[in-house]
Amino acid sequence: MRSRRRPARESLSREWRSPWWPVFDRPHDAGPPRRRPRLERLLDRVVPSGTGRWTTLPGTDGGPEVTAYRYEAPDRPRPSGALVWIHGGGMVMGAPWIDHRLCDRLARELGLLVVSVDYRLAPEHPFPAAVEDCWAALTWLHERAAELGVDLARIGVAGASAGGGLAASVAQLAHDRGVPLAFQGLVYPMLDDRTVLREDHGGRGQVVWTPAHNRDAWGWYLGHEVGVREERAYAVPARRADLTGLAPAWVGVGSADLFHDEDVVYAERLRDDGVPVDLVVVPGMPHAADMVPGLAAAQGFRKSFVAAVARALAEPTVERQSE
């Protein structure tokens, strides 16, 4: 298996190569994800969470309680901005601990309250479970804003990969239900199941998240094979016809990412429908490169995202410092 993956990584330009890629770039397994609860509990204990602490949020519309990490600096100004963060993993894997470092950074540097959702995963919990859990976190921030010391005008949602797709769904839901949202941050988001139907990906998606990964994940999340007509609102963000009135967006992706085309198209559609959009495309960057240690070329990408969050949600003095 390893020998099959190595040529794909070696196709990356020199600035994107790293000895850490094998940790992130795993071979495709056509079977459902294997849950390893003991390992997950161990990683949750040993990966430093910084200011993060476990919390339990009420579910919405009679749904189950939602667990999440809550990050905030001891000297967080009140009221402050707040961000719902949604981790990646193709809707089928992942956990908040993978983003402890980023969420703690946003809380400390920008003075935000950050809530990272431990949402339910497919295939055990297909759509709409994950969207409902993330929506529960957003409504919790709004309903308890005064108690939490949160400025209702400075609440946003963001996520990476599958989390970016869920963030886009939550932003659509917020618009339709009249819940104010100041920002949506879509970090190489998983937005369109129809990418699975394409035969030519232009050489993209050779590292970390491949067409095979994408096909299986969408099928498990939606509960049916991709290609079947999907009309359920919020299931596939890119299938929404009208994007008018959605929250201002930051969309970032690399040119070597499988999601490049769908992300650029979604950003352009947002812009065409009058939504303020900051689109960042990094030449040669593969999926999730900003999570790989030591990749200097990815630091500008991460910095751009943090600066966008600051502009939208932080105090003006903090915003200027993050630039």
**What's the gap between Cα 304 and its chain centre?**
15
Asked if pLDDT for residue 292 goes beyond 50, the answer is: yes
Task: With respect to residue 181, please indicate whether it lies within any of the assigned structural domains.
Answer: yes
> What pLDDT does 318 receive?
55
The more confident residue out of 35 and 58 is 58
State whether residue 16 is helix, strand or coil: helix
HEC states along the chain? CHHHHHHHHHCCCHHHCCCCHHHHCCCCCCCCCCCCHHHHHHHHHHCCCCCCEEEEECCCCCCCCEEEEEECCCCCCCCEEEEEEECCCCCCCCCHHHHHHHHHHHHHHHCCEEEEECCCCCCCCCCCHHHHHHHHHHHHHHHCHHHHCEEEEEEEEEEECHHHHHHHHHHHHHHHCCCCCCEEEEECCCCCHHHHHCCCCCCCCCCCCCHHHHHHHHHHHHCCCECECCCCCCCCHHHCCCCCCCCCEEEEEECCCCCHHHHHHHHHHHHHCCCCEEEEEECCCCCCHHHCCCCHHHHHHHHHHHHHHHHHHCCHHHHHHHC
Range of the domain at 280: 38-322
Task: With respect to residue 233, please indicate whether it lies within any of the assigned structural domains.
Answer: yes
Q: Which of 18, 49, 161, 169 is catalytic?
A: 161
Residue showing tokens 């308890």: 144
Q: Which of 25, 133, 257, 263 is catalytic?
A: 257
Task: With respect to residue 133, please indicate whether it lies within any of the assigned structural domains.
Answer: yes
Q: Catalytic: 99? A: no
Express each pLDDT in 150-201 by its tens digit. Answer: 999 999 999 999 999 999 999 999 999 999 999 999 999 999 999 999 988 8
The predicted model gives 300-313 an average pLDDT of 97
Q: Catalytic: 257? A: yes
Asked if pLDDT for residue 3 goes beyond 50, the answer is: no
- Report which of 252, 243, 250, 251 is spatially closest to residue 274, judged by C-alpha positions: 243
* Residue 91 region by backbone torsions, left for phi larger than 0, else alpha for psi between -120 and 50, else beta: left
The residues near 6 (Cβ < 8 Å, ≥ 6 apart) are none
Task: With respect to residue 200, please indicate whether it lies within any of the assigned structural domains.
Answer: yes
CB 116 within 8 A of CB 158: no
CATH classification of the domain holding 194: 3.40.50.1820
- Report which of 141, 137, 119, 115 is spatially closest to residue 129, judged by C-alpha positions: 119
Task: With respect to residue 259, please indicate whether it lies within any of the assigned structural domains.
Answer: yes
Cα dist from 94 to 83, 194, 228, 257, 263, whole Å: 19, 23, 26, 19, 21
The predicted model gives 278-295 an average pLDDT of 94
> What pLDDT does 7 receive?
58
Task: With respect to residue 277, please indicate whether it lies within any of the assigned structural domains.
Answer: yes
Express each pLDDT in 237-268 by its tens digit. Answer: 999 999 999 999 999 999 999 999 999 999 99
- What tokens appear for 229 in the block? 């007509």
Total domains in the fold of the chain: 1
Task: With respect to residue 144, please indicate whether it lies within any of the assigned structural domains.
Answer: yes
Q: Catalytic: 287? A: yes
Alpha-carbon distance 302 to 285, whole Å?
Answer: 12
> What pLDDT does 104 receive?
97
Task: With respect to residue 171, please indicate whether it lies within any of the assigned structural domains.
Answer: yes
